[in-house]
Amino acid sequence: MNNAKLPPFLIQKLEKQYGKEVTSNIIQGYQAKRKTTFRVNNLKAKTSEVLEILEKNNISYKTITWSKEAFIIENVTEKEIRNLSIYQEGKIYLQSLSSMLPPLVLEPKEGNDILDMAAAPGGKTTQIAAITNNKANITACEMNKIRAERLKYNLEKQGAKVYVMLQDARNIDDFFSFDQILLDAPCSGSGTILLAKNEEKELERNFTNERIQKIAKTQKTLLKKAIRLLKPGKEMIYSTCSILASENEEVIQEIQKEENIEIVPINLKGIEEIPLLPTKIPEVLCVAPTQLYEGFFIAKIRKNAHSGTGTK
């Protein structure tokens, strides 16, 4: 088995947070070969049309209770899915199940001004466009030019109507204000490790005390900016593909001391099907890495109407 070893720093951090038994389960999740999953793009196709193509090609699939658009592929590889016309025509989007959760928890509404603060490559942005039937005013922010081009390509392929802003979200003018915000913040990626694919040296570089502290600092700056841009009384999502409290609950708890916000309990139909890790804040979700799911953190935050920041 060509599995990379986890850095001792990460193992210690996980054991301190979760204990040895839960950490052992997390490591099993890192060792699992993750299944290919996709979402039907209802801007371009009906689910029945997509499933007909799968059946014609003898591709078996499973459904998910929390989304009518999400499917798990049982018997073929991602490469084989990419060869299908439904993929090439943007009728489906290859996306991890965990990554589909933040837009669903956001519950984006038609007619709303919505900001996706760190949008590339566009999985969640195109999902928001699909949920709102292209009838929301979506702004997608991306600071890296190459990643922004990839974002634009995916938006076009999926038929998503979105305004792309090539800018560091930390520098968005406070003149702007939004009804809903998705901040899928940059993180260490501690939820997405695949020991069969990740390299040991890469893992050692990614998981150091200095790097985690630097990432958390960026996350706090982005979250504070998001709260400033969010209209009072409105809601946003803070999510990461990390399972470390120092990038998740602790970031929120620190910002909560400075901002007039509250954590909103997540109400998602079929949530009992999702493997969850224990959290310091009861209202949030931390998805455990398994064969089906990447490790992921999701918090729903409401800016109180009497908040002193942002546009009134």
Catalytic residue numbers, as ranges? 241
* Two tokens, residue 297: 């953190």
Closest CA to 287 of 243, 232, 223: 243
Q: In angstroms, rounded to a whole number, what is the distance separating the alpha carbons of residues 160 and 154?
A: 8
Q: Which amino acid is at 119?
A: A
**CA dihedral (271, 121, 279, 277) positive or negative:** positive
Q: In angstroms, rounded to a whole number, what is the distance separating the alpha carbons of residues 253 and 80?
A: 44
Write the CB contacts of 276 (distance below 8 Å, at least 6 apart in sequence).
285, 286, 287, 288
Q: Mind giving me the DSSP string for 189-256?
A: -TTS--TTTS-HHHHHHH--HHHHHHHHHHHHHHHHHHHHHEEEEEEEEEEES---GGGTHHHHHHHH
